[in-house]
Amino acid sequence: MDLILASQSITRRRILDAARIDARFMSPKIDEENITKSLIADQALPRDIADTLAEHKALKISLKNLDSLVIGCDQILVFEGEIFGKPASPEALKDMLSRLSGQTHRLVTANVIYKDGKPMWRHVAISHMSMRTITSNEIDAYIEAHWPDVKHSAGGYHFERTPDLFSSVRGNWFDIMGLSIDPILRFLNQHQAGNPFQIPRLAAVLGHPIAQSKSPLMHGHWLKKNQISGDYIAIDIPPMRFNTTVRMLFDVGFSGFNVTIPHKEQALAFADDMTPRARRIGAANTLIKRDSGKISADNTDGYGFMTNLASQNSAWNPSAGPSLVLGAGGAARAILVALLEAGVPKIYLCNRTRARAEDLAADISDCIEVIDWEDKQGVLPDVFTVVNATSLGMIGKPPLEIDLTNLNPDALVTDLIYAPLETQLLKDARTRGCEVVSGIGMLLHQGVPGFEAWFGHRPAVDEELEALVLT
């Protein structure tokens, strides 16, 4: 089956890629503006306008590619009977957003399939988008931050980048993105003999900021390598919009999320139920929508940490003796729980801000003894595991200053930091004769349970993935 998408939209191309559809992409170049104007003059309905534009695009490509199936599509934004196009200037965008603020508009997404210059199939989807009330100052800040990205978008927004502009949505993610992939796949499955195409599943990492996240690279690699129909993106959500936005993203079709700073505690509170380890850690890094519609929270940081240790050093014996954990932030919390569950009999917890360590110890276990930051070297002869869970030693951060002269050479030393891959702590420990484990494996392993839950396949953590994430 030779399939052509008559569109130059990167987003639509991404949807077909996500569905593992091998298609060609062609730009139809029709005079959209004049066709739309004449249809409006004829008082055509919005859905007929979108449908006609989709047809023009498909027809033009179909006539030059007889025998191919050609998908044409178009999307228009309708508010109070008026069609909103692309904003001509920042001032026009301000006017548009001021009108859409606090109101519900419709996105009309038309899809047609042509063959031999004739229509075979058509589908129009309507999504109802309710924008929250946005203040004038907020609109100004939005335009300042997003104008170059959104000036080519009808209505002046990209739902996938700023879903927090909305309070609720009635619709499907792919329709909103501009291509109704579910009905298209149903049509294609009726007209092809091979394995049926699967509707893509969706997951994302949520944080604020989020641009630095390696998760899209990891999950994208697993999806492609295993030829799974699905997509994984990064979405920036401000903390005060977390609950509303996550609820809305589940409603439009997401199977789940990874959650990172600063949303991990909110994610736990958001869920309907949680795993015992998430409850004990008091934070979630994974949200999963179950078949029942209930949202479950998990925390896989400790799992990632322990699986990494086990895969790098099978001789490590947690019950051999006490551990020293440096740091008392979010990551340390998960590490403490994981070490205790693995059988470590006692943990010395050492943090620059002692009070934070004391709160953490009081929350988690009597087996944790808090020591002063200056006393970290004093316990080294006694410990069998050392974990750096501070940000010290990371590229761009101050070094972690610790003299390992008295460290037991049988101890295992691990650093959560993976940039650089081998920190000074690990270099010094290696010189001392200790086993060392870098933090990169923790990052890779913590993603496995979420991927398996959302996409139904347990992915492999291998050198190829590690090299990809480290580039």
Structure tokens given for 460: 């492999």
Report the residue number, 75 or 351, with the smaller CB distance to ligand NAP.
351
**Residue 325 touching ligand NAP (CB under 6 A):** no
Closest among 326, 119, 120, 149 to 236, alpha carbons compared: 149
Counting residues that bind ligand NAP (by CB under 6 A) gives: 25
**Residue 361 touching ligand NAP (CB under 6 A):** no
Residues of this chain, 400-439, that bind ligand NAP according to CB under 6 A: 416-418, 439
Interface map 371-390 toward ligand NAP (x if CB under 6 A) = ------------------xx
Shortest distance, CB of residue 218 to ligand NAP, whole angstroms?
Answer: 11
3-state secondary structure of 116: coil
**Residue 356 touching ligand NAP (CB under 6 A):** yes
Shortest distance, CB of residue 154 to ligand NAP, whole angstroms?
Answer: 39
Shortest distance, CB of residue 319 to ligand NAP, whole angstroms?
Answer: 24
**Residue 352 touching ligand NAP (CB under 6 A):** yes
Report the residue number, 32 or 369, with the smaller CB distance to ligand NAP.
369
Report the residue number, 71 or 334, with the smaller CB distance to ligand NAP.
334
Choose the stretch contacting ligand NAP; rule: CB under 6 A; options: 202-210, 312-320, 326-334, 374-382.
326-334
Catalytically annotated residues? 264
**Residue 169 touching ligand NAP (CB under 6 A):** no
Q: Tokens 């309708």 map to which residue?
A: 78
Shortest distance, CB of residue 461 to ligand NAP, whole angstroms?
Answer: 12
* Residue-wise DSSP of 190-239: HT--SSPPPPPEEEEEEESS-TT-SHHHHHHHHHHHTT-SEEEEEEE--G
Verify cis geometry, omega within 30 degrees of 0, for the bond prior to 209. yes
**Residue 447 touching ligand NAP (CB under 6 A):** no
Q: Which of 353, 372, 403, 470 binds ligand NAP (CB under 6 A)?
A: 353
**Residue 394 touching ligand NAP (CB under 6 A):** yes
Output 187-192 pairs: Cβ under 8 A, ≥24 positions apart. 187/113, 187/120, 187/121, 188/1, 188/3, 188/21, 188/69, 191/1, 191/69, 192/1
Q: For 226, what's the count of Cα atoms within 13 Å in the CB-facing half-sphere?
A: 20
* Residue-wise DSSP of 13-40: HHHHHHTT---EEE-----HHHHHHHHH
**Residue 392 touching ligand NAP (CB under 6 A):** yes
Structure tokens given for 45: 């309905």
Q: Which of 332, 336, 340, 437 binds ligand NAP (CB under 6 A)?
A: 332
Q: How far apart are CA 61 and CA 49, in angstroms?
A: 19
**Residue 266 touching ligand NAP (CB under 6 A):** no
Interface map 51-90 toward ligand NAP (x if CB under 6 A) = ----------------------------------------
Shortest distance, CB of residue 261 to ligand NAP, whole angstroms?
Answer: 6
Q: What's the per-residue H, E or C state across 374-406?
A: HHHHHHHHHCCEEEECCCCCCCCCCCCCCCCCC
Query: Phi/psi zone of residue 210: left (φ > 0), alpha (ψ -120 to 50 degrees), beta?
Result: alpha
- 459, 452 in Cβ contact below 8 A? yes
Residues that bind ligand NAP (CB under 6 A): 301, 304, 327-332, 351-353, 356, 389-392, 394, 398, 416-418, 439, 442-443, 446
